[in-house]
Structure 1
Amino acid sequence: MSVLIVIPARYASVRYPGKALVPLRGATGQEKSLIQRSWDAAQAVGGVDRVVIATDDHRIRTEAEGFGAEVVMTSATCRNGTERCAEALDALGGAFDIVVNLQGDAPLTPPWFVEDLIAALNAHPIAEMATPVLRCDGRALGGFLDDRRAGRVGATTAVFGAEGKALYFSKEVIPHVADGAWDDHTVTPVFHHVGVYAYRPAALAAYARWTPGPLEQLEGLEQLRFLERDHPVQCVEVDARGQQFWELNNPEDVTRIERILGELGMA
């Protein structure tokens, strides 16, 4: 199967304008932009035929081409990364079996997260799309709860049924848990939704034709459009293998991500 990774990126982020170009310092003190670190993460994924950055902003295009990335220019009317992926796929001629949306604010995404998604679609031919979920330990859950208490938009959580079919995604911490019930290293019943998606091209094309529903608009979560249209979303539990994962949603996340880059020894 042919696999395309699209990294959607925009400059006019509502919560953090210009974040795609924010420099992040690695273990050696070297700075790379957020979009370059996301590109590096995509390059580490096995079994991929092509990687492109999809943007509507020439500042991001200039930065991306400067470090050797292939760029597809998309329209400014794309409302989220999934719509931008759909437009990029169309611009490339659509000749791929699986399209992966590796969001441009998730540079710490381990390659095996994406590889597990690709394997899940290969193993389940009727599945339309898949997304990874990561069981939280007490340390991660504590960070989520701290963000909510401080009024910061933090990580997304997911709840799903016994066969992995998604029930809901939220910026709130769901299911409800008692604060302080888990220490740093114990497992919890909360799953962190990792912002990566793998789609069949037909599902991606259909998504672009649908209008956003009220839940998507309230939560600001693009994957809810599938659930509101009664199209199943397959959650794939992944193993962090001891590696911390975090997305860049707020300016405060820069320090946290740089610390993790240092711990991982990433230049």
Structure 2
Amino acid sequence: MTTTILIPARYASTRYPGKPLATLTGPDGAKTLIQRSWEAAMSVPEADNVFVATDDERIAEASRGFGAEVIMTDEACRNGTERCADALARTGMTPDIVVNLQGDAPLTPAWFLSDLIQAMKAEESLDAATPVLRCDPETLSMLIEDRDNGRVGGTTAVFDTDYRALYFSKEVIPFTGGKTFAEGEVPVFHHVGVYAYRTTALTRYIDWPEGRMEKLEGLEQLRFLENGARMKCVEVDARGRIFWELNNPEDIARIEQVLNRDGTL
């Protein structure tokens, strides 16, 4: 099976304009968010090719500057999944598996994507798959802190006994009522902002109207669930690393702390 990784990136983010070009300083120096995301994608052994998909010439120019291949997409794309579908349509590519590595997750280890790709290869009935990570007490605390302070932070996921996705939310679900949990026992799963799709599922996605829950939560993956698609949550192992996305300017310090403590991925 062929696998293409696409990194959708837009400049006009509502919460954080220009986010892909934000600079993160680690032990390897200062690099933009889009470059760190591209380097993470390039380290995935199962990837046959990697592209940055954007509608912005500033992002395209920066990406070409560090060696990335770029696909220019329609500025009307409302989310990363639509941008991935548009990139395929414009290039005529038909890989068996398309991986959407959101351009705001530079702490995504290569093995997260490898596990996701292997899950898609193992279950051909799946339309899509996405990684989830059991929260440790520190991450749960950060998620709750963001919500308490009115910030939209990470996304959480709930799934059935077969790991089929039931729902995703920017609220912290399930409700824990302020309970404390030991390491390895936190019942909240942090959704990792990566997706794998069949090309046929992407084609259907672009034809579906934006869903009611998708609009309320602002989460693109809910369109799959609202239309009965089979999406699997793949539990991944952080191997001692902290995973966090760049959702708000305040997250830069958090991510830089991890980069300088644990090194680059």
Amino acid at match of 1:26: G
Amino acid at match of 2:107: L
Amino acid at match of 2:111: W
Q: Which runs of 4+ in 1 moved over 3 A?
A: none
The TM-score normalised by the length of structure 2 is 0.98
Q: State the Cα deviation string for residues 23-53 of structure 1 (Å, max 9, x = none).
A: 100124x110000000010011111100000
1:232 aligns with 2:244: no
SS of residue paired to 2:188? strand
Quote how far apart the aligned CAs of 1:161 are. 0.1
Out of 191-200 and 225-234, give the one that drifted further: 225-234
Q: State the Cα deviation string for residues 45-68 of structure 1 (Å, max 9, x = none).
A: 111100000000000001000001
Q: Is the 8 A contact 1:131 1:233 kept in 2?
A: yes
Aligned twin of 2:202? 204
Q: State the Cα deviation string for residues 160-215 of structure 1 (Å, max 9, x = none).
A: 000011110000000000325125x3530000010100000000111011110111
Aligned twin of 1:146? 145
Q: Is the 8 A contact 1:94 1:201 kept in 2?
A: no
Mapping for residues 126-205 of structure 1, pairs under 5 Å = 126-182=125-181, 185-205=183-203
Out of 192-201 and 84-93, give the one that drifted further: 84-93
Q: Is the 8 A contact 2:134 2:184 kept in 1?
A: no
SS of residue paired to 2:189? strand
Q: Is the 8 A contact 2:27 2:264 kept in 1?
A: yes
SS of residue paired to 1:25? strand
SS of residue paired to 1:250? coil
Q: Is the 8 A contact 1:55 1:73 kept in 2?
A: yes
Quote how far apart the aligned CAs of 1:92 are. 2.2
CA distance in 2 between counterparts of 1:206 and 1:94 reads: 16
Quote how far apart the aligned CAs of 1:93 are. 1.4
Size of the aligned set, in residue pairs, is 265
CA distance in 2 between counterparts of 1:92 and 1:118 reads: 22
Amino acid at match of 2:17: P
Q: Is the 8 A contact 1:11 1:57 kept in 2?
A: yes
Aligned twin of 2:2? 2
CA distance in 1 between counterparts of 2:133 and 2:263 reads: 22
Q: State the Cα deviation string for residues 212-253 of structure 1 (Å, max 9, x = none).
A: 011101100000001111112111111111111000000000
1:48 aligns with 2:47: yes
CA distance in 2 between counterparts of 1:94 and 1:186 reads: 41
Amino acid at match of 2:6: V
Q: Is the 8 A contact 2:127 2:230 kept in 1?
A: yes
1:22 aligns with 2:22: yes
Q: Identity over aligned residues, as a percent?
A: 59
Aligned twin of 2:122? 123
CA distance in 2 between counterparts of 1:76 and 1:261 reads: 32
The TM-score normalised by the length of structure 1 is 0.97
Amino acid at match of 1:181: T
CA distance in 2 between counterparts of 1:25 and 1:80 reads: 27
* Aligned CA-pair RMSD: 1.1
SS of residue paired to 2:190? strand
Q: Is the 8 A contact 1:131 1:197 kept in 2?
A: yes
CA distance in 2 between counterparts of 1:145 and 1:256 reads: 15
Aligned twin of 1:81? 80
Out of 57-66 and 174-183, give the one that drifted further: 174-183
